[in-house]
Amino acid sequence: MKDIKHLLKFIKPYKISLIVTILCMATVTGMNLVAPWMIRTLIQTVSDNIANYQKISTLSILVIVIYIFRAIAQFGTSYVSHYTAWQYLKDLRIHLYNHIQKLSLKYFDDKQTGELMSRIINDTRTFEQMTAHAIPTIIVNVLMVLGVSIILFYMNIPLALLTLIPIPFIVIIVLKFSLISRPKFKVAQEKIAELNSILQENISGIKEIKAFTQEEYESKRVGEKITNVSIYLLKALKVSAVFHPTIQFLSGIGTVIVIFFGGRLALAGKLPLEDLVAFILYLGNFYQPITALGQINEGLQQALASADRVLEVLNTQPDIIDPPNARDIKIEGSIEFQDVSFMYIDSIPVLKNVSFKAEAGKTIALVGPTGVGKTTIARLIPRFYEAGSGKILIDGIDIKDIKLSCLRKHISIVSQDVFLFNGTVLENILYGKPDATFDEVVAAAKTANAHDFIMKLKDGYNTHIGERGVKLSGGQKQRISIARAVLKNAPILILDEATSSVDTQTERLIQDALNKLMKNKTSIVIAHRLSTVENANRIIVLEEGSIIESGSHEELLKAKGLYSSLCAAQIPVSLQL
């Protein structure tokens, strides 16, 4: 319940509109309570055998007024409750997304994008039902039951007591339903999340599916997920299908009790006819809220099942945060690793006591076979991951003592796997500096050797490039990524295989752009093509997570170690040395 309160706190800003909703529903309730009394009065008037046409006319006018007020209140109930619910849902989704953004990359290593999307969109969607319907309905129906109870006991206490007989059975059924249905709805929500994950994955990988002619296999796999959603939803709904008729049957028993005992009391002259009719009319209003509470309980259990999944995310705390003493600093760019070790999986070290220093404005190249920890070093500098032991210093200050926003603001990253957003060329370059002028964007594009090809696009800088830049070639995407880094103009630059997977001519354009970008910046360069790092101030050679060689290109060639072997293996490259 404490966790649920954490979610309900987002409704506080809309408590006034929620109160208005409850008042409107209370008005509807009041009108529903008055209407049967008017009919009772009408029967009483007719039974008196007095031609009181004035009273009948007055009753008719009152009933019209009641219906008008009820209609107005029903409109207020419907619109204001949904307004409140969707505003609440908006705030909750924004909070959930912002919380996910704060989580470190480690959290996302074993999470599927579609599954997280499902938690933000599908799981929170059930809260709209809870806010717009469940909460106000519970309050108003409780008022309805109390109001009807008072009227029934006022008219005839013994008969009113008899109508309470089904209540304990209804309560037991409702509680039993809650225990059975909530786990089933939670499983159904998990199956929906799995479906979202595979759909997101397959749509993103549609090219690979077609290239490997796996359409039939993927169709079968998606079909199984869709079938699972139907199966588990139907299992939950089967419980509901038993629940609702049972509640209605027990409510009907109350009506049978009134007919059986009330009819006898009326025949014995102990219960006026108008009271018997009013009793039957009010009885519908007495059991209807109880039945409604049972129906609301289904949506409530769905919402609570979804709440469990949302809270799993919200209760996950980021493991990389600013300590209380973290501060903003002006970064010059020197980087130092002091005995840094790191592992992604326990007992499998990726880095072992790595130590090196990069002076501000100098270039450090990291080389070595695949999987020796080069990219891991690049990820540790902006604190995407936390070092397991040792220290990483920037300008002599432990990066843990620098605010994350400040640290990352001073680092630009250009990687092999370029990510471009589904927008225009201009919007993607501006990502490096949102407040830059158009002239600054053009200047950055020219530095990145991207301006010429951009101007050849259909709409130039306003050309939409599709999701992940699908409408551009690999080299074009890479140069836009470089332009973004140029515009950011951070003092620390990380280049992770920035020239891989492109042809020789494009590589020359990209390398020329990178050389301009690296000027006067502390650069950490990761490359397998050793020709791209021969001019580095220092080359660090890694093997099995440890530094085994360090020096200039010429020094390492003379040492005849691993670096020399790697160069020899790249014969066309070594001929250029």
Which sequence spans correspond to the domains of the chain?
A: 2-314, 335-574
Q: What's the pLDDT at 439?
A: 92
Nearest-angstrom CA–CA distance, 298 and 227: 22
> How many other C-beta atoms can be found within 10 angstroms of the C-beta atom of residue 21?
27
Class of domain 335-574: alpha beta
pLDDT band for 289, please (50, 70, 90 cuts).
confident
Is residue 501 scored above 80 in pLDDT? no
How many CB atoms sit inside 10 A of residue 569's CB?
A: 10
pTM, two decimal places: 0.73
Does the structure show a pLDDT above 90 at 11?
A: no
Decide if 115 contacts 196 (C-beta within 8 A): yes
Asked if pLDDT for residue 415 goes beyond 60, the answer is: yes
pLDDT tens digits, 119-170: 888 788 777 777 767 777 777 778 888 888 888 888 888 888 888 888 888 8
3-state SS class at 411: strand
Whether the CB-CB separation of 517 and 448 falls below 8 Å is answered with yes
pLDDT level of residue 498 (50, 70, 90 thresholds): low
Give yes or no for a contact between 478 and 470, defined as CB atoms under 8 angstroms apart: no
Domain range 2-314, CATH class: mainly alpha
Separation between Cα atoms, residue 404 and residue 538, nearest integer Å: 28
pLDDT at 297 (0 to 100): 66
pLDDT tens digit sequence for 417-435: 788 888 888 988 988 888 9
Return the structure tokens found at 287: 């059991």
Q: What is the pLDDT of residue 572?
A: 52
The answer to whether residue 57 scores a pLDDT higher than 50 is yes
Per-residue pLDDT at 577: 39
| pLDDT for residue 159 | 86
pLDDT above 80 for 244:
no
Return the higher-pLDDT residue of 339 and 168: 339
* Dihedral (CA of 443, 449, 454, 455) sign: positive
Of 365, 367, 401, whose CA–CA distance to 494 is shortest?
365
346 burial class (0-12, 13-18, 19+ CB within 10 angstroms)? exposed
Whether residue 216 has pLDDT greater than 90: no
For the stretch 180-206, pLDDT in tens is: 877 887 788 788 878 887 887 777 777
The confidence score (pLDDT) of residue 188 equals: 83
